[in-house]
Amino acid sequence: MNWTVLIAPAGFFAISFAAGLLACALVKRLGVTDAPDGGRKTQAQPVPRLGGVAILLGALIGMALSFVILMLGYGADPIATFTNLIHEGVKTNPGLGIAIAFVAVSFAIGLWDDIATAGTKLKLAILTIAAFLAAAFGLTASAFQTPFGDVSIPVLLIAGSAAWLIVMINAVNFMDGSNGLAIGSLAIMLAALAAISATSGTWTAAIWWIPLFGAIGAFLVHNLRGQLYAGDAGALGLGALFAGLGLASGLNVWTIATIALPFLLDVLLTLIWRAKHGRNWLDAHLDHAYQRLIASGWSHLETAVLYWGLTATCGGMAYIAALAGGAAPFAVFLGLGIALTVLWIRHRRTAQLSDLSG
């Protein structure tokens, strides 16, 4: 057995994990905090909120060191190899470069909000424009697969892909209200995306994935203890990363949507519920299923583990459906969607009965 296959990834993970821990320690000292507001922000005291910056720094440092070590191990020129890798990557998959640009814009907008508190409507408007521009320049699904045939009309692909980008990044931001839940689930979603993409042969870049997971792991060490938040930079940036890479991967749209089902359904069903009860979508609230679980006595860790499990289940089923091909991705998406919707409705009714009895 070639132990390098196991040792090298473990080493790359450890490098970025260590770099992430140092980055987390740094951003916690910068004084940018998220203060309790008596509403959605229920923590007892202000908490540092630049965890997204720590993840970025840890991932970039880990990627750079891992890449250099790998190239030196093979006796290659790191600079020349990196330049060629970027050139070939963009050449073979133009959407990948656009996806990275969209991630950068989303991260920057989130960082702006973390530091200077951007207006909700203005932030949403800028993200919407960025999503449509990304889709117009080529970051689109290859087709929308339906039981009646594929839809590949350019205008519909652009509109649908832009809508996916907007919905996904905002879904992650909405779900980032419980320690470990959003970012831990995103790590699982990205891992599922990487596994399915590698297996299907659409594209793979294993060296870039492992340092990212190491940096996220370092962040979770702090986040699970309520000592550091991802902030909008982390939520919007990582949400854009999953959404953008999902489109760039060329995978079946139902495969990508299945991976994100626990997030998508909790957000969409909550918005429908709020609209039904005449509540403003943009107002801060505690109506998501995970928030109701915490209000009923679940710990942050218990709630996070539940969503990690649901996300892992959806990711695993998406993987199986992608291998099967044909109508399997749509069938799995539909079946899991119905099952999770039933669970959400039952939970909502239980929560309402509990509120009435209380």
Length of the chain as a residue count: 358
pLDDT in tens, 141-192: 888 877 777 888 889 999 999 999 999 999 998 888 889 999 999 999 999 9
User: What's residue 208's pLDDT?
Assistant: 74
Beta carbons of 89 and 96 less than 8 angstroms apart: yes
Which domain covers residue 198, as residue numbers?
4-357
pLDDT in tens, 281-336: 667 677 888 888 888 889 999 999 999 999 999 999 999 999 998 889 999 999 99
**More confident position, 9 or 246:** 246
pLDDT in tens, 23-39: 999 999 998 888 765 55
To which residue do tokens 């919905």 refer? 167
Token digits of residue 5: 């296959």
Residue 353 reports pLDDT greater than 80: no
User: What's residue 87's pLDDT?
Assistant: 63
Could you tell me the pLDDT band of residue 69, with boundaries at 50, 70 and 90? confident
How far is the C-alpha of 245 from the C-alpha of 257, rounded, in Å? 12
Average pLDDT taken over every residue of the chain:
86
User: What's residue 227's pLDDT?
Assistant: 93
Residue 358 reports pLDDT greater than 90: no
What is the average pLDDT across 66-93? 68
User: What's residue 11's pLDDT?
Assistant: 83
pLDDT in tens, 245-270: 999 988 999 999 999 999 999 999 99
Residue 119: C-alpha distances to residues 112, 114, 126, 271 (Å)? 10, 11, 11, 20
| Number of structural domains found in the chain | 1
How far is the C-alpha of 103 from the C-alpha of 100, rounded, in Å? 5
Beta carbons of 57 and 237 less than 8 angstroms apart: no
| 119 Rama class: left (phi>0) / alpha (psi -120 to 50) / beta | beta
| Residues whose CB is less than 8 angstroms from the CB of residue 208 and which lie 6 or more positions away in sequence, other chains included | 63
Residue 194 reports pLDDT greater than 80: yes
Alpha helices in 201-299 (DSSP H): 206-223, 231-248, 253-259, 261-276, 289-295
What is the average pLDDT across 125-149? 89
Beta carbons of 140 and 157 less than 8 angstroms apart: yes
Residue 21 reports pLDDT greater than 50: yes
User: What's residue 232's pLDDT?
Assistant: 92
